[in-house]
Chains A and B, each alone.
Chain A
């Protein structure tokens, strides 16, 4: 097989796997910081209980993110060595800043966050939690800056056979960066909210850990109500930006072959790259133009406006985009139903809704992955839009070496993911720690029935600290 294809498959696989974990931990770290902050302010133990419960899935997820992330930091050099030489002078300092401002920060304070309960004061512990949270957001900042530059390069000159920065502010705050960054951060917050909502919905449905589940479920449903519409808005802005800078990607997203005015929105279609048209189409007239250009007669560039070898694989982009949109719609629906039920006073008891919330647990992650496929596959065949073609910058390696490591990654990552899910399931089944309040170790890991929990809430606040 072609080494270029194998290297791309390997990169796509390892980065897709990796992104699952940061997407969860960015959002979950915000949740943990908010809950611990609420606990410090109000001293209500149910907030501490939230922190202590979600800290464990957070730790495992974070660990998975760390081990799969180190691989990525070396893959530019191993599999895309020409890329490292040509584009390295632009991208490497951004990655360096990620390591300096985020990686070390997270790693340095994670130990205190996870293991420091008895070694530092609650305030210092809270500080560690906040720092880890800030670290995850900074990490996303630099990665998205580097990634965005590859889509909308700015602030550079090309000399001596490589790209060099002329203006670092323009490199970092390149035209698509703000949209991508906020789109990704909101996606992470959504993913975490959906997980928190879903797990608590499961408890509510099973009539377990009711007090605990209500606190988390209520918070997560409010978050969804704010986040889901915000994401639609940012997505719309991002779409306008893509139309401006990467019109061919947009054409692939919308399944538009001929440049047209008043383009219809293809709700569903089967794009065919061979015949250069859609084999089947279900569309709403003029809607695509209206959404993208905010004018029902606006012009949208078609795929055929560029040569065949400059078009991305249309079907992948087209379908990924619809998966993302579809799941986004379901998230909106969940959030709106939540409000309706809350008004009616049935939020915690209406079973079909709780089932719906539980089924939505992976939807944030799947939508995030689908979104990345739209973005990254949509940029092909370019690695840096309009400047560097992917096939020109892969390492010269024996195909069997890449095939071997790709196979290893598939096996090892597959095994790990099963183990990860197994342990997460185990933690969920075990349920939250129970509040006791008789010695200085107020939360035990033994799941006891709710009866022992209720009287403790409202205890002397100072005594309930761990």
Chain B
């Protein structure tokens, strides 16, 4: 068994879980300012209050898997992207405490609404910037500084903002009724457009600027193997537009399709950068941790991840269905 590939898959799984689960949690915060009434914002936040913590835990999981499997990448990436990482963590603090305080507040409720929307938006922008900078490449050499605020990272940041917003609105379509559900559907469509525009710009940019990426994608026979990714993306997009536009028939389908869309985008990204853990500098085989570390941690992952998925599914089932006013404590 190739440890490097195994752990890259575990890392990919963790990142995907995070992006999907905290994606919709942060997304609700991103579209928060567009929700009309105080009561709707209350339902929107309550629909997340029992899941945001476990969703965010996947971020810690992703970080720790990187630390376990590719300690050099963990060290280089985090210290090179110091400011966006720190700002993201501080933004997540604003998001998290808003849940604890909003429902116990009376006069200060508007502050916690702001704290929630601000925290979600800033955290997402930081994650987008981190993603964009990683894709563009960072230098391992400590004396060479890495610029993380570039036109490219700005575009990935805005795309991610639209993407999470889309996931968030699809979550609300599933969890709410009446006016709020109608609003969520109305917000979802323009966000989907933004996501597609972002995906197209980022893809073309990469193909033009990075010869290695262009070669990977456009050479035969790779082209035939990789073609399903853009084709599936197009198919899913069309289905998603239809599902959003049919309010009576679909509640859960838009969320599921939006998740598939995200997974496809992530696969597309990994295809372009494989086998690098720090793009164009360090491969997964160069950065891999010693065997004693990997085998010990692997046992834990294999035993506990299925258990975690089971009890998280149980927790989701307990709160299944539309969120109502009574789900408080």
Render A442-457 as a binary contact track against B, CB cut-off 8 A, 1 for contact.
0000000000000000
Say whether B6 faces chain A, with CB atoms less than 8 Å apart: no
Q: Tell me whether B304 and A100 are in contact (CB under 8 A).
A: yes
Is B53 interfacial (CB 8 A cutoff)? yes
Query: Once bound together, how far apart are the Cα atoms of A104 and B89, in whole Å?
Result: 19
B83 touches A405 (CB 8 A): yes
CB distance from B160 to the nearest CB of A (A): 19
- Taking CB atoms, residues of chain A closer than 8 Å to B71 are 84-85, 88-89, 92, 162
A362 within 8 A of B: no
Cβ–Cβ < 8 Å partners of A427 in chain B: 104
A431 to B1 CA separation, bound complex (whole angstroms): 59
Q: Tell whether B300 is near chain A: CB-to-CB under 8 Å.
A: yes
Stretch of B92-100, B200-208, B240-248 lying at the A interface: B92-100
Q: How far is the CA of A190 from the CA of B289 in the complex (A)?
A: 40
Interface segment, one of A68-76, A236-244, A337-345: A68-76
CB distance from B284 to the nearest CB of A (A): 16
A118: Cβ under 8 A from any B Cβ:
yes
Among B33-41, B174-182, B308-316, the stretch that binds chain A is B308-316
Q: With A73-B64, A115-B49, A119-B319 in contact, do A88 and B90 touch (Cβ < 8 Å)?
A: no
Write the A98-132 contact mask toward B (1 if CB under 8 angstroms, else 0): 01110111111111101111111000000000000
Q: How far is the CA of A284 from the CA of B302 in the complex (A)?
A: 57
- Closest CB in chain A relative to B309 CB, distance in Å: 10
Report yes or no: B293 in contact with A92, Cβ–Cβ below 8 A: yes
Contacts of B312 in A (CB 8 A): 104, 108
Contact B293 A89, beta carbon cutoff 8 Å: yes
Verify if B75 is at the interface (C-beta below 8 Å from A).
yes
B290 is an interface residue with CB less than 8 A from chain A? yes
Shortest distance from the beta carbon of A72 to any chain B beta carbon, whole Å? 9
Tell me the chain B residues, 78-96 only, with Cβ under 8 Å from chain A. 78-79, 82-83, 85-86, 89-90, 92-94, 96
Nearest-CB distance from A165 to chain B (Å)? Answer: 5
A106 to B54, CA, bound (A): 8
Find chain A residues with CB under 8 A from B142 CB. 396
Of the listed stretches B55-63, B149-157, B263-271, B272-280, name the one at the interface; the rest are far from the partner chain: B55-63
Closest Cβ of chain A to B112, distance in Å, is 10
A409 to B64, CA, bound (A): 22
Q: Are A64 and B100 in contact (CB under 8 A)?
A: yes
Contact A81 B318 (CB under 8 A): no
In the complex the two chains form, is A96's CB within 8 Å of B65's CB? yes
Interface majority SS (helix, strand, loop, mixed), chain B: helix
Tell which of B227-235, B254-262, B321-329 binds the partner. B321-329
Tell me the bound Cα distance from A113 to B233 in angstroms: 40
- How many A residues touch B, CB cutoff 8 Å? 70
Q: Is B64 a contact partner of A70 (Cβ separation < 8 A)?
A: no
* A262–B89 CA distance with the chains assembled, in angstroms: 51
B3 contacts partner chain A, Cβ-Cβ < 8 Å: no
Contacts of A77 in B (CB 8 A): 63, 67, 74-75, 77-79
Tell me, rounded to whole Å, the shortest Cβ–Cβ distance linking B256 to chain A.
22
By beta carbon, the residue of chain B nearest A427 is B104
Q: In the docked arrangement, what's the CA distance between A24 and B86, Å? A: 26
- Nearest Cβ on chain A to B40's Cβ, whole angstroms: 19
Query: Given A70-B89, A115-B328, A166-B292: A85 and B53 within 8 A (CB)?
Result: no
Shortest CB distance A106–B (Å):
8
Chain B residues near A60 (CB-CB < 8 A) = 100-101, 104
- Residue B50, interface by CB 8 Å: yes
| Residues of B contacting A64 in the complex (Cβ-Cβ under 8 angstroms) | 97, 100
Q: Is B301 an interface residue (CB 8 A)?
A: yes
Chain B residues with CB under 8 Å of A106's CB are 53
A409 to B89, CA, bound (A): 10
**B76 contacts the other chain (CB 8 A):** yes
Q: Counting CB contacts under 8 A, is A327 at the interface?
A: no
User: A85 near B72 (CB under 8 angstroms)?
Assistant: yes
A107 lies within 8 A of B304 (CB): no
Chain A contacts for B56, CB-based, 8 A? 66, 70, 107
Does B9 belong to the interface (CB within 8 Å)? Answer: no
A interface with B by C-beta (< 8 Å) = 55-56, 59-60, 63-64, 66-68, 70-71, 73-74, 76-79, 81-82, 84-85, 88-90, 92-93, 95-97, 99-101, 103-112, 114-120, 160, 162, 164-166, 168, 395-397, 401-402, 404-405, 408-409, 412, 416, 419, 423, 426-427
Known: A104-B312, A419-B101. 7 other contacts (CB 8 A): A74-B63, A78-B82, A93-B296, A104-B61, A110-B53, A115-B327, A409-B90
Q: Could you list 25 examples of A-B contacts with CB < 8 Å?
A: A56-B329, A63-B99, A68-B93, A73-B63, A77-B75, A77-B78, A77-B79, A78-B82, A84-B78, A88-B74, A88-B293, A92-B71, A92-B289, A97-B297, A100-B300, A105-B308, A106-B53, A115-B49, A115-B329, A162-B71, A164-B292, A165-B296, A395-B75, A404-B83, A405-B86
